[in-house]
């Protein structure tokens, strides 16, 4: 195939002889020797006397005359022998002395010479190398250098240990020749020829292994010696160090790898240990308000996939413990509840307020962490919310307490909070409200408390009240608040009635009836937490007449309506006279009250005097309507037994006991009645009489009703029953709503849908929903399909 | 409720007062069907059948067979009143009220079965019993027995009545039946409604005796959920005793 020279040409025609048409082996040898010498000169750095043009031409000639292979193998041999005999020997000699710099300088020499050689043999690169698909000249040089020098038995090991040793020394704090390492690393990268395999095998892998080993030991040492926060700072520093190292003298691609090793060894393997470290872990940081430490930990752990989960779990555990503690603390005060049940004063009110306040404080604390430590991370936000929801709903009294808390803030009080302060507290309370599952229970209590504020005129301001209602409306929709808004409307309309009533009396030439200044609130049934069965109560003559006058007036305007007196909601101001300690005498009360279609009233009246020589002390006593009824009895009689009072007034037992407790057993500055004997319980035979020695600095004495805040246990049960009853209807309504729209539905999807619809108000138990479904089947609103029991159809 | 209790002892008996419901609207269709069958007199003799009915019907209202008549009827065909076949018979006649057959019901049912004498009916009894083996027919009879048994002015079945009916229908084919009775005794249920009634049969058919395929989300009435729960407790109690 190499038949270059054909037979001699016959024609004598002038021909241009193809340049070395024919090359005999001798000539080739000559050229090759020339080239070989030149290459060796280059390797000896004696290249100044060489003619680049000539060498190039020679190489060209060889390739052109199909001597490419010869040239290529020749080159390989020359380079190999140079590296084997010269360079490797040099490096080996420097093995224990100046190894790295020797290697680096050999490497740079090799690179320089290979560039020159490549230039000379460029034609071969272009033609022979491409045709035969072999390494080009430069890469050939690289692979020979790699195999004959860098990977030549001891050299490879020595290089690796040297590099690792240097890194280790730097980690220990010594200063090392970073440039030498960088050169070595870049050499390894280049020797890989388009891949990082050489770097990886000869350096990176052992490096990572060694690092892992190093950090494994270090983590143990660190953990044993340091607190969590110090540990975290050290880890942070280490990571930064490794990043610097990778950037400065390793290959860039090593950075994520080495960081990963550090993270794994220093954090991931010890995540739980760090987080749960006693006296310094997350709990410690939370307790001691170590916001910054937590932030560091958050930053560090966010590098790892499960890192934040681990922290959040720990936070959650602590939060739940705290929350449960708060919630159960409340449970512990069961004695108070028992006391309230028997009618004794209870601290339920203050408890409710501190209960909510403590929860709000806890929320504030964790919001602070969330914002300043955890960068408002979604995971933490959710965890905190879920935890609050969890423990807030552990205590069935939470809805009541929250309403009491809001009641406390909206009540006219001595606290003197500005509207902005109230506003911000209410906003926080709304956050708690969102966590409540039983919003319907809250609504019930809120209605009760709002009614009391409105009827007893205790609201701090209408604006605040309306503001709160609009907050509830935003949260739960207008269905939730329509009745509350109705209550406000009733109040406004009642004011108009009172104006008109006054005018009406003026026209008749009166200012008041029977000396009673009557104030009536007409309450629409359904809006207010009134009782359908109105408790009986014998109202004294004077206020009763005043009320009858109003009734005539009102029914004259609205015939066909029904007006019922809700005595339990009313209050009265009484003028009272006490005749000192000189001698026992009577005292007189007068006044009036009313209650609400349903009405509540406040009134003030005159008094009567029963003898007495000394100048009497005059007081205005503010009492409930029930108490008024009791006190007025003493206008006619000096002493009465409990039984007598009960039969005269007809007040329900529980309310009467409560009324008497605050009159006779409250604070001494409010004790206008005396009880014999002075026991704690009220017995039917106990005798009550006016406390003539009553003394108070205040002209206007308000009789605090005991146990008015917070429900007693029986009341609570009653409320619960009512709530359950309401829920039945709400669940049924929801089922019918869903089924009316869907016509046909599978059991589980129906339950899910109903739960979803009612979620905003309460969380119905599936079993309860099922019972309602059965009820509806029984009443033939729904039916099971004949083919599948689990599918219901809507029966129109 | 002594009347109710008595009814329990044998479900077809008793029922001394409470008049049967003679539904007028129904009779037209019945007579139409009856007249259709008249074309086969050698198989079925309507006159004989009516005459047979009159042997049992009440003196004050010859259109109705009362409890006494039913009792006599039972003894004539040598079947105990609490025999399940009586239920099948009632179902065939589409009887509206336990212990009463109206003439229309009688005629319609006997015509369908082609029976006009004691002998013919007695001969037929086995095939009636066999009807119970067909699960669809059984289901239909089971469901029918709810309306048949309950007081007409009530929606639900009083618990004692329900229990004795269940005994007639399910005692032989449901292994958990004794436990279910015990459960009902211990529970506070006073009545069984139609949905519960229908689902008890479904439960006996689809839920294995070991409850392994019972599904809490299976839309069973709460009564049956509670039964399953009760069984769990009962078992664990038994085990702890062992």
Sign of CA dihedral A361, A363, A364, A365: positive
Q: What is the model's pLDDT at position A21?
A: 54
In DSSP terms, which residues pair with A571 in a beta bridge?
Answer: A624
Q: Are residues A784 and B195, on separate chains, in Cβ contact within 8 Å?
A: yes
A743 to chain B nearest CA, in Å?
17
Alpha carbon distance B175, B90 (integer Å): 27
Whether residue A199 has pLDDT greater than 50? yes
A-to-B residue pairs, Cβ atoms closer than 8 angstroms:
32
Count Cβ atoms below 10 Å from residue B123 Cβ, excluding itself: 11
**pLDDT, tens digit (0-9, with 9 covering 90-100), for A172-182:** 888 888 888 88
* Chain A residue numbers touching B203 (CB-CB < 8 A): none
Share of chain A above pLDDT 90, in %: 7
Of A747, A767, A778, the CB nearest to B219: A747
User: What is the mean predicted confidence (pLDDT) over A317-339?
Assistant: 69
pLDDT average, residue stretch A731-756: 92
Higher per-residue confidence, B40 vs A20: A20
Which residues of chain B are within 8 Å of residue A766 when distances are taken between CB atoms?
A: 217
Chain A positions in Cβ-Cβ contact with residue B195 (cut-off 8 Å): 774, 777-778, 784
H-only helix segments in A559-641: 625-633
Q: If you compute the radius of gyration of chain B from its CA atoms, what whole number of angstroms results? A: 20
**Which of these, A77, A64, A72, A57, lies nearest to A129 by C-alpha position?**
A72
Q: Which of A20-24, A229-233, A238-242 has the lowest mean pLDDT?
A: A20-24
Contact assignment for B194 to A778 by CB distance below 8 Å: yes
Considering only residues B48 and A381, tell me which one the structure prediction assigns the higher pLDDT: A381
Instruction: Determine the pLDDT at residue A605.
Output: 41
Q: Is A447 helix (H, G, I), strand (E, B) or coil?
A: helix
CA distance A755 to chain B (A): 14
Whether A639 has a pLDDT exceeding 60, the answer reads: yes
SS3 A79: helix
Q: Tokens standing for A509?
A: 């030439």
pLDDT in tens, A211-221: 898 988 888 88
Average pLDDT of chain B? 77
Of A701-710, B25-34, B115-124, the range with the highest mean pLDDT is: B115-124
Flag if A748 and B225 touch (Cβ within 8 Å): no
Asked if A789's CB is within 8 angstroms of B219's CB, the reply is yes
Q: What chain B residue is nearest to A750 in terms of C-alpha separation?
A: B219
Average pLDDT, chain A: 81
CB contact under 8 A, B225 and A767: yes
Contact B156 A778 (CB under 8 A): yes
Complex confidence, ipTM: 0.73
Using a cut of 0.90, tell me whether the model's pTM lies above it: no
**What residues contact A506, with CB distance under 8 A and at least 6 apart?**
none
First-last CA distance in chain A:
100
Contact A774 B195 (CB under 8 A): yes
Reported as a pLDDT band with limits 50, 70 and 90, residue A711 is low
CB contact under 8 A, B218 and A790: yes
Q: Does residue A602 have a pLDDT over 50?
A: no
- What pLDDT band is residue A25 in, cutting at 50, 70 and 90? confident
Phi, psi for residue A521 in degrees, rounded to 5: -110, 120
pLDDT for residue A348 is more than 50: no
pLDDT at residue A615 in the model? 63
Q: Do A748 and B217 touch (CB under 8 A)?
A: yes
CA distance to partner chain B, nearest, from residue A722 (Å): 22
Residue A475 pLDDT greater than 80, yes or no: yes
Contact A784 B193 (CB under 8 A): no
**Could you say which of B156, B217, B222 has the minimum Cβ distance to residue A771?**
B222
Determine, for residues A778 and B202 on separate chains, whether the beta-carbon distance falls below 8 Å: no
B196 contacts in A (CB within 8 Å)?
774
| Chain A positions in Cβ-Cβ contact with residue B198 (cut-off 8 Å) | 784
DSSP class per residue in B127-174: HHHHHTTSHHHHHHHHHHHHHHHS-TT-SSEEHHHHHHHHHHHHTTT-
| Span of A75-79, A411-415, A768-772, B52-56 with lowest mean pLDDT | A411-415
Which of A747, A778, A784 lies closest to B193 in CB terms? A778
Residue B192: list chain A partners with CB under 8 A.
none
So what's the pLDDT on residue A413?
Answer: 66
Tokens of A490: 């009733």
Nearest-angstrom CA–CA distance, A121 and A128: 10
| Backbone phi, psi, residue A641, to 5° | -85, 165
Task: State what percent of residues in chain A have pLDDT above 70.
Answer: 87
Chain B closest-CA separation from residue A735 CA (Å): 14
At A552 the pLDDT is 86
Tokens matching residue A209: 């292994």
Per this entry, what is the length of chain A?
A: 796
pLDDT top residue among A357 and A569: A357
Q: How confident is the model at residue A734 (pLDDT cuts 50, 70, 90)?
A: very high
Contact B156 A777 (CB under 8 A): no
Which pLDDT does position A753 carry in this prediction?
A: 92
Query: Which residues in chain B have their CB less than 8 angstroms from residue A768's CB?
Result: none
Average pLDDT of span A592-611: 39
3 state DSSP class of B76: helix
Partners of residue A770 in chain B, C-beta under 8 Å: 219, 221-222, 225
Give the residue-averaged pLDDT of A342-353: 52
- Nearest CA-CA distance, residue A747 and chain B, Å: 6
Judge whether residue A13 has pLDDT over 70: no
State pLDDT tens for residues A45-98: 887 778 888 888 888 888 887 778 888 888 888 888 888 888 888 888 887 778
Among A478-492, B114-128, B227-241, the least confident range: B227-241
3-state helix, strand, coil in chain B (%, to 5): 60, 5, 35
Most confident of A734-738, B57-61, B218-222: A734-738
In the block, residue with structure tokens 């009036």: A592
The pairing of beta strand A700-702 with beta strand A617-624: parallel
Nearest CB neighbour to A790, from listed B155, B195, B219:
B219
- B222: chain A residues, CB-CB within 8 Å: 767, 770-771, 774
For residues A72 and A707, the model is more confident at A72
Residues of A with CB below 8 A from B155's CB?
778
Name the residue of chain B whose CA is nearest to A774's CA: B221
The shortest CB-CB distance from B195 to any of A766, A767, A778 is to A778
Q: How many angstroms separate the CA of residue B220 from the nearest CA in chain A? A: 8
Q: In angstroms, what separates the C-alpha of B158 from chain A's closest C-alpha?
A: 15
Q: Which residue of B has its CA nearest to A792?
A: B219
Q: Which residues of B touch A789 (CB under 8 A)?
A: 199, 202, 219
Instruction: Decide the pairing of beta strands A687-690 and A598-604.
Output: unpaired
Count the Cβ atoms, other than its own, within 10 Å of residue A593.
Answer: 36
* Nearest-CA distance B233 → chain A (Å): 19
Name A431's Cβ contacts closer than 8 Å, sequence gap at least 6.
Answer: A363
Band of residue A491 on the pLDDT scale cut at 50, 70, 90? confident
Mutation for testing the B interface, residue in A777, A782, A792, A793 having most B CBs under 10 Å: A777
pLDDT 10s digits, A90-129: 888 887 778 888 888 888 888 888 888 888 888 888 888 8
CB-nearest to B222 from A770, A789, A790 is: A770
Q: Which of A156, A285, A295 is nearest to A227 (CA)?
A: A285
Select from B136, B146, B206, B219 the residue whose CB has the most chain A CBs within 10 Å, as the one to mutate to test that interface: B219
Across the strands, what pairs with A674?
A: A689
Residue A603 has which token pair?
């009134």
Read off the pLDDT band of A494 (50, 70, 90).
Answer: confident
Three-state SS at B191:
strand
Query: Mean pLDDT across the stretch A154-164?
Result: 85
Q: How far apart are CA B185 and CA B48, in angstroms?
A: 47
């Amino acid at each position: 195939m190499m038949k270059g020279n054909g037979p001699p040409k016959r024609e004598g025609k002038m021909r241009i002889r193809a340049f070395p048409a024919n090359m005999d082996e001798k000539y080739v040898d000559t050229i090759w020797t020339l080239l070989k010498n030149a290459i060796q000169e280059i390797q000896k750095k004696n290249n100044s006397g060489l003619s680049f043009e000539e060498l190039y031409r020679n190489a060209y000639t060889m390739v052109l005359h199909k001597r490419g292979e010869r040239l290529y193998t020749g080159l390989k041999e020359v380079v190999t022998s140079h590296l084997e005999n010269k360079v490797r020997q040099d490096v080996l000699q420097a093995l224990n002395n100046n190894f790295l710099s020797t290697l680096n300088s050999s490497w740079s020499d090799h690179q320089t010479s290979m560039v020159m050689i490549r230039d000379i043999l460029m034609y071969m690169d272009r033609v022979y190398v491409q045709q035969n698909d072999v390494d080009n000249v430069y890469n050939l040089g690289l692979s020979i250098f790699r195999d004959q020098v860098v990977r030549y038995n001891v050299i490879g090991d020595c290089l690796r240990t040297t590099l690792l040793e240097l890194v280790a020394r730097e980690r220990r704090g010594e200063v090392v020749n970073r440039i030498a390492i960088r050169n070595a690393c870049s050499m390894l990268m280049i020797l890989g020829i388009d891949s990082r395999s050489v770097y990886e095998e000869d350096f990176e892998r052992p490096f990572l292994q060694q690092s892992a080993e190093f950090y494994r030991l270090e983590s143990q040492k660190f953990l044993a010696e340091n607190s969590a926060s110090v540990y975290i700072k050290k880890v942070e520093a280490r990571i930064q160090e490794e990043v610097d190292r990778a950037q400065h003298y390793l290959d860039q691609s090593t950075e994520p790898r080495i960081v990963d090793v550090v993270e794994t060894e220093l954090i991931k393997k010890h995540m739980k240990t760090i987080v749960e470290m006693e006296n310094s872990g997350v709990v410690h940081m939370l307790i001691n308000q170590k916001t910054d430490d937590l932030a560091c930990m958050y930053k560090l752990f966010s590098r790892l996939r499960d890192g934040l989960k681990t922290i959040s779990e720990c936070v959650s555990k602590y939060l739940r413990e705290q929350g449960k503690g708060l919630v159960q603390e409340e449970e512990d005060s069961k004695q108070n509840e028992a006391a309230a049940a028997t009618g004794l004063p209870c601290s339920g009110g203050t408890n409710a307020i501190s209960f909510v306040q403590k929860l709000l404080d806890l929320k504030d604390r964790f919001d602070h962490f969330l914002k300043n430590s955890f960068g408002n991370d979604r995971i933490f936000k959710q965890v905190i919310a879920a935890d609050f929801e969890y423990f807030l709903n552990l205590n069935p009294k939470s809805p009541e307490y929250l309403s009491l808390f809001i009641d406390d803030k909206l009540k006219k009080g001595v606290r003197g909070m500005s509207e902005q302060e109230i506003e911000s507290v209410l906003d926080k309370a709304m956050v708690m409200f969102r966590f409540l599952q039983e919003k319907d229970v809250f609504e019930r209590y809120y209605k009760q408390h709002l009614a009391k504020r409105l009827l007893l005129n205790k609201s701090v301001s209408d604006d605040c009240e309306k503001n709160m209602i609009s907050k509830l409306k935003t949260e739960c929709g207008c269905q939730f608040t329509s009745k509350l808004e109705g209550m406000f409307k009733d109040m406004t309309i009642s004011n108009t009635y009172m104006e008109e009533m006054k005018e009406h009396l003026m026209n008749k030439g009166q200012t008041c009836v029977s000396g009673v200044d009557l104030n009536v609130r007409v309450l629409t049934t359904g809006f207010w937490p009134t009782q359908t069965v109105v408790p009986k109560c014998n109202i004294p003559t004077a206020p009763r007449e005043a009320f009858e006058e109003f009734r005539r007036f009102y029914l004259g305007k609205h015939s066909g309506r029904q007006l019922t007196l809700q005595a339990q909601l009313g209050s009265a101001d009484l003028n009272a006279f006490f005749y000192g300690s000189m001698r026992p005498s009577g005292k007189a009360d007068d006044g009036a009250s009313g209650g609400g279609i349903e009405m509540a009233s406040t009134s003030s009246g005159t008094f009567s005097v029963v003898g007495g020589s000394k100048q009497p002390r005059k007081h205005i006593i503010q009492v409930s309507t029930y108490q008024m009824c009791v006190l007025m009895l003493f206008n006619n009689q000096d002493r009465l037994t409990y039984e007598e009072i009960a039969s005269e007034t007809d007040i329900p037992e529980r309310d009467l006991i409560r009324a008497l407790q605050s009159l006779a057993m409250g604070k001494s500055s409010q004790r206008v009645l005396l009880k014999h004997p002075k026991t704690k319980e009220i017995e039917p035979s106990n005798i009550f009489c006016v406390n003539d020695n009553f003394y108070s600095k205040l002209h206007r004495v308000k009789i605090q009703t005991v146990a008015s805040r917070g429900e007693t246990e029986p009341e609570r049960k009653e409320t619960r029953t009512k709530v359950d009853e309401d829920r039945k209807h709400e669940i049924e309504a929801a089922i019918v709503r869903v089924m009316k729209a869907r016509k046909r539905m599978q059991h589980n999807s129906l339950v899910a849908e109903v739960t979803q619809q009612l979620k905003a108000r309460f969380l119905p138990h599936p079993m309860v929903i099922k019972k309602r479904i059965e009820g509806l089947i029984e009443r033939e609103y729904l039916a099971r399909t004949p083919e599948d029991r689990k599918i219901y159809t809507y029966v129109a | 409720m002594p009347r109710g209790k008595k009814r329990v002892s044998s479900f077809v008996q008793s029922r001394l007062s409470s008049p049967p419901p003679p539904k007028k609207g129904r009779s037209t269709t019945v007579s139409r069907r009856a007249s259709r069958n008249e074309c086969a007199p050698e198989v079925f003799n309507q006159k004989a059948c009516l005459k047979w009915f009159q042997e049992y019907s009440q003196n004050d209202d010859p259109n109705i067979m009362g409890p006494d008549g039913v009792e006599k009827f039972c003894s004539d065909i040598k079947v105990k009143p609490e025999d399940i076949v009586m239920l099948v018979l009632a179902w065939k006649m589409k009887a509206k009220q336990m212990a009463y057959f109206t003439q229309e019901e009688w005629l319609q049912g006997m015509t369908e079965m082609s029976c006009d004498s004691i002998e013919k009916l007695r001969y037929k009894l086995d095939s009636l019993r066999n009807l119970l083996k067909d699960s669809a027919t059984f289901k239909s009879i089971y469901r029918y027995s709810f309306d048949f048994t309950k007081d007409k002015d009530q929606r639900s079945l009083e618990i004692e009545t329900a229990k004795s009916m269940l005994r007639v229908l399910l005692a032989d084919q449901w292994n958990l039946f004794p436990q279910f009775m015990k459960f009902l005794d211990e529970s506070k249920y006073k009545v069984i409604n139609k949905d519960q009634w229908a689902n008890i049969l479904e439960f006996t058919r689809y839920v294995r005796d070991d409850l392994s395929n019972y599904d809490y989300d299976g839309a069973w009435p709460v009564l049956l959920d509670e039964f399953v729960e009760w069984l769990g407790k009962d078992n664990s109690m038994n085990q702890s005793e062992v």
